[in-house]
Structure 1
């Protein structure tokens, strides 16, 4: 009886450690380091429908080199809007290789559509002006995009 109780306790403890480790690993999977030239970007990754729908809504601030990468299930002329989004943002639409197609500035709490000029597979939202302040324009390919998770 004592061995069974000990085994159960040990099993429960191992399950808790495994759950904590998996939770930590999953949290890490939610971020991706990208590069734009020599600029480093720490991007949260929205690759599920609920995450893409939530986006950066209701956030009050975002660090200078942080952003959100939206991974779409298929290339299309995707559009973004700013309903319930409190931060002024710039969005770069990217093709399948991570090359910037176009960049649009977006004002907080508006419902205007900001769309890709051509079929895009990704969109990267950063604080408004981030791309312009660094001289980053259409045609630049972002590094690290190949590590983006598959969309769900």
Structure 2
């Protein structure tokens, strides 16, 4: 299967079946899927990943020259249903409450209720988000976002009253630590996994302890 580069794959176990799968995560990848792929091994496939469960989702086989099993998977990692997609047909295949869709060679033996395990999916998505961050986080993007934000943070006293409002020039955490928190917050918002949230929480408390030990300091903004 030359079309599916093994540098961009994860391993998936479904019931008694093991697969090496390319990940379809952005809109372009999902729209193209396995179109044009005419050779698929018994243990190869593609996994479509959605950030949130889809109330209703529809797949078809346009320009896909081989029969596929289209496996709909719920947010709790169980197979909802398996449908056979006939090569080059355009009839929609519809399912509800889906967060993952696995496409593999037809007659896979996967069945409704099978448990699904992903090996390396979270790490794969984190690496992709890191690459995206490095592309979009340029000076113009940052300045544009700063212009949109009027109040970044309100600091409360022990009674819950606002004692300080930060509007962009002041800083509680160091610049380096702030960048780490922003990056981890974006990942947590995208991945919505327990480990991503825990990593963000640990960093926040770590940097709060560091700040508690620092003396008072105010950095004037550059003109």
TM-score by length of 1: 0.72
The equivalent residue for 2:45 is 67
Distance 1:115 1:103 in 2: 11
Distance 2:112 2:70 in 1: 12
Distance 1:84 1:102 in 2: 23
The equivalent residue for 2:11 is 33
Distance 1:89 1:66 in 2: 11
1:1-152 to structure 2, matched below 5 A, reads 28=7, 30-76=8-54, 77-116=56-95, 118-131=96-109, 136-144=110-118, 147-148=121-122, 149=125
- 5+ long unaligned stretches in structure 1: 1-25
Distance 1:112 1:129 in 2: 19
Shift of 1:27: 6.2
DSSP 3-state at the match of 2:66: coil
> Is the alpha carbon distance of 1:45 and 1:34 closer, same or farther for their aligned partners in structure 2, counting shifts above 3 Å?
same
- 5+ long unaligned stretches in structure 2: 126-189, 192-223
Distance 2:34 2:100 in 1: 15
- Report if aligned partners of 1:35, 1:143 keep a CA contact under 8 Å in 2: yes
Distance 2:19 2:94 in 1: 22
Distance 1:39 1:107 in 2: 21
Q: Looking at both structures, which has the greater relative contact order when contacts are Cα pairs under 8 Å and sequence separation is at least 6? A: 1
Q: Between 139-148 and 104-113, report the one with greater CA deviation.
A: 139-148
Q: Whose radius of gyration is greater, 1 or 2?
A: 2
Shift of 1:79: 1.1
Shift of 1:81: 0.3
Q: Could you list the runs of 4 or more consecutive aligned residues of structure 1 that deviate by over 3 angstroms after TM superposition?
A: none
1:9-53: CA deviation from partner (whole Å, max 9, x where unpaired): xxxxxxxxxxxxxxxxx963x211011233211111101111001
DSSP 3-state at the match of 1:139: coil
- Report if aligned partners of 1:33, 1:144 keep a CA contact under 8 Å in 2: yes
TM-score by length of 2: 0.50
